[in-house]
Amino acid sequence: MDSPPEVAALYRLDDSLSEPERAVREVVARLVQSEVLPVIGQHFRAGTFPAQVVARLGELGVLGANLGGYGCAGLSNVAYGLAMQELERGDSGLRSFASVQTSLVMWPIHRYGSEEQKQRWLPRLARGEAIGCFGLTETEAGSDPASLRTRAARTKGGYVLNGSKAWITNGALAHLALVWAKTDDGGPESVRGFLVDTTTRGFSAREIPGKFSLRASSTAELSLVDVRVEESDVLPGVHGLKGPLSCLNQARAGIAFSVTGAAIACFEGARAHALERQQFGRPIAAFQLTQAKLADMLERIVVAQTLGLHLLRQKDAGRASPTLVSLAKRANVRAALTTAREARSIYGASGITDDTPPIRHLLNLESVYTYEGTHEVHTLVLGKAITGIDAFG
């Protein structure tokens, strides 16, 4: 049940959006309503990825939508963020798929790739015919990517990759892996990006079992044993860690905006439940503590949405600093997570089953809290910006 119009207007921010931006949101909202929400609960329960949605996202031009040319829609970051927000209203796992495809695979190819690499990969990735993953994190290199161990040894005409990657979204589904590895000399400045066709001999992916979060999404370990890549598979336009870090900055900005979608789904569900559920002869929405929870949830959503819109407008103007990205990612993911927890509590006992959406969003958001720069790392980025002192050591 939708919120009353004057409440929804507070977080839909329609008056601040252009007509194409609203149109983009409505198309993706319709897709999620009719093709994602009816099946997402079952996928979450079964731990399966809703693969049939990928082709639809490709058909509608959602993947790589904020890039220009090569079959991409050329949307503003705000319009793209609205599309991601609607996907996240469905499920953070599905949105994670799209974020990785767009910001961590297509964006670096678009930004740092050769013309041949762009022609080869971008149209297929945009149509959803090829799925990409981003291999930076390793079991021993999470928040500290400079310590990554995957090596690319130079050989005649190319490189041989050895190493392993962990917590890789889309890993087990991917046709293309963008693997970040150090070239021979081993320093962080020697990091390069390699476009690895996942059918190459020596490449394998293993789904990580036992997840309680992002269950409708693939999260895998990648293993690279003597994987040969050509010189033409190296991203020519970037050297060093700033390559992968710039990709993450892209993705984080999108996430800071989109995560509100999960919060809105939780809020709307909890509101409807509170009005319907009767205790002591009245709907629980009549009790002050429930009203306080709903008011807190709405406040957090509106604040997050306003901050997210500010961030993406700044990004469209080329002015979004990494500090602002860190601030917004940290603030908005925490706001969404808190909102999901409160929504869960309004559902009472039924809220612990996957028949109700908040527990799914809540569990998903625990991943979002940690990935794309942990909450803690973003805190220290802000601490450094405020004090000038680097607390990372």
Partner 1 sequence: MKILVTAKRVEDPESKIKVKADGSGIVQEGLKYKMNPFDEIAVEEGLRLTAKHGGEVVVVSIGPKDVQEQLRHALAMGAARAVWVNHPGPLDPMGAAGLLQKVVEKEKPDLCILGKQSIDDDQGQTGQYLAEWLGWSQGTFASKLDSLESEAEKAKAPAIELSADGKTLQVVREVDSGLATLACSLPAVVTTDLRLNQPRYASLPGIMKAKNKPIEELTPAGLGVDVGLQVEVLRMSPPPPRKAGVKVGDVQELFQKLKNEAKVL
Q: Which of 11, 24, 214, 251 binds partner 1 (CB under 8 A)?
A: 24
Give the shortest CB-48-to-partner 1 separation in angstroms.
24
Q: What is the DSSP string of 199-262?
A: TSTTEEEEEPP--SSSTTS-EEEEEEEEEEEEGGGB-TT--STHHHHHHHHHHHHHHHHHHHHH
Provide the minimum distance between the beta carbon of 88 and partner 1 in the complex, in angstroms, as a whole number.
17
Using rule CB under 8 A, residue 79 touches partner 1: yes
Check if the beta carbon of residue 224 is closer than 8 Å to that of residue 162.
Answer: yes
Please give the Cα distance from 170 to 2 (Å, whole number).
Answer: 32
Residue 372 is among the residues annotated as catalytic for this protein: yes
Question: Binding residues for partner 1, how many (CB under 8 A)?
Answer: 22
If phi over 0 gives left and psi between -120 and 50 gives alpha, with beta otherwise, what is residue 201? beta
Q: Looking up tokens 């993450």, which residue turns up?
A: 248
Q: Which residues pair with 197 in a beta bridge?
A: 176
Q: How many CA atoms lie within 13 A of 20 on its CB side?
A: 8
**Residue 30 binds partner 1 (CB under 8 A):** yes
Does 32 interact with partner 1 (rule: CB under 8 A)? no
Beta bridge partners of 73: 68
CA distances from 51 to 129, 244, 356 (A): 11, 27, 22
Among 10, 17, 27, 380, binds partner 1 (CB under 8 A): 27
Choose, by CB under 8 A, the member of 17, 37, 60, 385 that binds partner 1: 60
Choose between 65 and 216: whose C-beta lies nearer to partner 1.
Answer: 65
Q: Interacting stretch for partner 1, rule CB under 8 A, among 68-76, 97-105, 244-252, 299-307?
A: 68-76
Q: Which residues contact 48 (CB under 8 A, 6 or more apart)?
A: 216
| Member of 6, 115, 116, 185 binding partner 1 (CB under 8 A) | 6
Binding test (CB under 8 A) with partner 1, winner from 54, 65, 179, 227: 65
Tokens of 10: 């507070």
- The strand pair at 68-69 and 278-279 is best described as unpaired
Residue type, 140: E
Residue selected from 16, 23, 143, 291 as contacting partner 1 according to rule CB under 8 A: 23
**Cα–Cα distance measured from residue 181 to residue 226, given in angstroms and rounded to the nearest whole number:** 13
Q: Taking CB under 8 A as the criterion, which residues in 35-54 touch partner 1?
A: none
Confirm or reject binding of residue 61 to partner 1 (CB under 8 A).
Answer: yes
The answer to whether residue 20 forms part of the interface with partner 1 (CB under 8 A) is yes
Cβ pair 32, 84 in contact under 8 A: no
User: How would you class 391 by CB atoms within 10 Å of its CB: exposed for 0-12, middle for 13-18, buried for 19 or more?
Assistant: exposed
By CB under 8 A, residue 312 contacts partner 1: no
- The residue range among 58-66, 170-178, 307-315, 344-352 that interacts with partner 1, by the rule CB under 8 A, is 58-66
- Cβ distance to partner 1 smaller for residue 18 or 139: 18
Q: Which stretch binds partner 1 (CB under 8 A): 2-10, 149-157, 359-367, 371-379?
A: 2-10
Q: Using the rule CB under 8 A, which residue among 32, 78, 83, 247 binds partner 1?
A: 83
Sign of CA dihedral 53, 55, 60, 66: positive
Q: Which is nearer to partner 1, 316 or 366 (CB)?
A: 316
- Which of 32, 40, 67, 73 lies at the binding interface for partner 1 (CB under 8 A)? 73
Q: Catalytic residues, which ones?
A: 372
Which residues form the interface with partner 1 (CB under 8 A)? 4-6, 9, 19-20, 23-24, 27, 30-31, 59-62, 65, 72-75, 79, 83
